[in-house]
Amino acid sequence: MEIKETKHWTVDEIGEAAQKLKKGGLVAFPTETVYGLGANAMNSDAVSGVFDVKGRPHDNPLIVHVNSFEQVKDYVVALHPYAQKLADTYWPGPLTLICQTKTDLFAKEVSAGLPSVSFRMPDNEATLMLLKKAGVPAVGPSANTSGKPSPTTYEHVYHDLQGKIDGILDDGATKIGVESTVIDVSDPEQNPMILRPGAITKEQIQQDLGIEVSYDKHLLETSETPKSPGMKYKHYSPDTKVLMVKKQDWPAAVHWVKENNLCAGVLAGPRICDEVRANTAATFSYSDDSMLAATRGLYAGMRALDEGQLSLDVILVAVLPEEGLGLAYMNRLKKAAAQKYFEG
């Protein structure tokens, strides 16, 4: 693979980044969820490059990032009756719509053989400007090495992809920290179905739009051939072993660490971090005890505690209530921990 000089672009340098993107370069961009690895969605070489540098399996389709829903209408075959309403309500924002699409309008790698393409309008002004200036829709998988925690800062992207991509548009840390909700509206006859939980929740959509939305958590976590191919791969994991710890199990977990002389890292809210700090090797505290602080800090914390010089034996991560945004948090955490809980 050719070694590239990975540029650092500030938001004042969007024009340069847009030119690169348009001409087939690989340009990472910020969004409100995680950083994405952008490439011109019409350019087969560029899109192939995205799979290569991430080490992404080729059967895992990409999200196309657009700067309006009008743009999506040009590509869609059978528009779902609720698609427009969903976009009007949540775009720009962390909701990805899977639509029945004229897939041949895009590079063939985008849809990975499926009869649909997913679209999202990210809530980040710099990236919306980047898309506008480039004048092309851009694929944007999370800008990490496949299988690693998604990047929520410029530094995370640089760590994983330096030398492999043309540049990174830096707009600081992302606001939400976990990837968008993916909702399937490809069949106009069926109710929208959530395929990946995110910051826009099933309850919120049902309440705002007065429609039925399906979400089968068990199926998504256990099925061998899930509807959203990305969900079947081991994901988001640091190299260090991750164990999930339930609220009532922290005293037992700390006892286990001491008894076995383990070098343990803890990723949790400030209250738990304060309690365990004296007895663990490293703590990474979410900025406060809210659920949003937890999603924002989850990947960043796993990356920080995975740093080589810490040489931790295990990372203990707080289990949080699986409701609302907590569904997205737990969905990612369970994958990082390969479903393993600390058993007291």
Residues 74 and 217: their CA atoms lie apart, in Å, by 33
Strands (E), 123-255: 138-139, 167-169, 181-184, 193-196, 241-245
Q: State the nearest-atom distance from the C-beta of 221 to Mg ion, in Å.
A: 17
Instruction: Please identify, using beta-carbon distances, which residue of 202 and 335 lies nearer to Mg ion.
Output: 335
- From the list ligand TXA, Mg ion, none, pick the one residue 325 interacts with, judged by a Cβ distance below 5 to 8 Å according to partner type: none
Task: Tell me whether residue 273 is exposed, middle or buried, using C-beta atoms within 10 angstroms of its C-beta: 0 to 12, 13 to 18, 19 or more.
Answer: middle
Q: Site for ligand TXA (CB under 6 A): which residue of 31, 67, 152, 201?
A: 31
Q: State the nearest-atom distance from the C-beta of 286 to ligand TXA, in Å.
A: 19
Instruction: Please identify, using beta-carbon distances, which residue of 182 and 312 lies nearer to ligand TXA.
Output: 182
Instruction: Please identify, using beta-carbon distances, which residue of 47 and 316 lies nearer to ligand TXA.
Output: 47
Residue 317: both structure tokens together = 């991560």
Beta-bridged to residue 245, according to DSSP, are 318
Instruction: Please identify, using beta-carbon distances, which residue of 223 and 279 lies nearer to ligand TXA.
Output: 223
**183 touches ligand TXA by CB under 6 A:** no
Q: How many other β-carbons are positioned within 10 Å of the β-carbon of residue 163? A: 12
Q: Site for Mg ion (CB under 5 A): which residue of 103, 142, 283, 285?
A: 142
**174 touches ligand TXA by CB under 6 A:** no
Q: State the nearest-atom distance from the C-beta of 127 to ligand TXA, in Å.
A: 9
Beta-bridged to residue 76, according to DSSP, are 101
Q: Site for ligand TXA (CB under 6 A): which residue of 25, 122, 238, 301?
A: 122
- From the list ligand TXA, Mg ion, none, pick the one residue 33 interacts with, judged by a Cβ distance below 5 to 8 Å according to partner type: ligand TXA
Question: DSSP string of 109-142?
Answer: TTTTT-SEEEEE--S-HHHHHHHHHHTS-EE--B
| Contacts for 68 with CB less than 8 Å, ≥ 6 apart | 121
Residues 341 and 339: their CA atoms lie apart, in Å, by 7
**177 touches ligand TXA by CB under 6 A:** no
**36 touches ligand TXA by CB under 6 A:** yes
Q: Site for ligand TXA (CB under 6 A): which residue of 96, 100, 201, 331?
A: 96
- In contact, 263 and 283? CB cutoff 8 Å: no
Task: Tell me whether residue 336 is exposed, middle or buried, using C-beta atoms within 10 angstroms of its C-beta: 0 to 12, 13 to 18, 19 or more.
Answer: buried
Residues 180 and 274: their CA atoms lie apart, in Å, by 31
Binders of ligand TXA among 213-272, rule CB under 6 A? 227-231
Q: Site for ligand TXA (CB under 6 A): which residue of 33, 153, 283, 331?
A: 33
**118 touches ligand TXA by CB under 6 A:** yes
Instruction: Please identify, using beta-carbon distances, which residue of 188 and 270 lies nearer to ligand TXA.
Output: 188
Binding mask 48-67 for ligand TXA (x = CB under 6 A): ------------xxxx----
Residues 142 and 130: their CA atoms lie apart, in Å, by 17
Report how many residues bind ligand TXA under the rule CB under 6 A.
31
Amino acid symbol at 287: S
Binders of ligand TXA among 191-210, rule CB under 6 A? 195-196
Q: Tell which phi-psi region holds residue 21, choosing left (phi > 0), alpha (psi between -120 and 50) or beta.
A: alpha
Query: Interface residues with ligand TXA (CB under 6 A)?
Result: 31, 33-34, 36, 60-63, 94, 96, 98, 111, 114, 116-118, 120, 122, 140-142, 179-180, 182, 195-196, 227-231
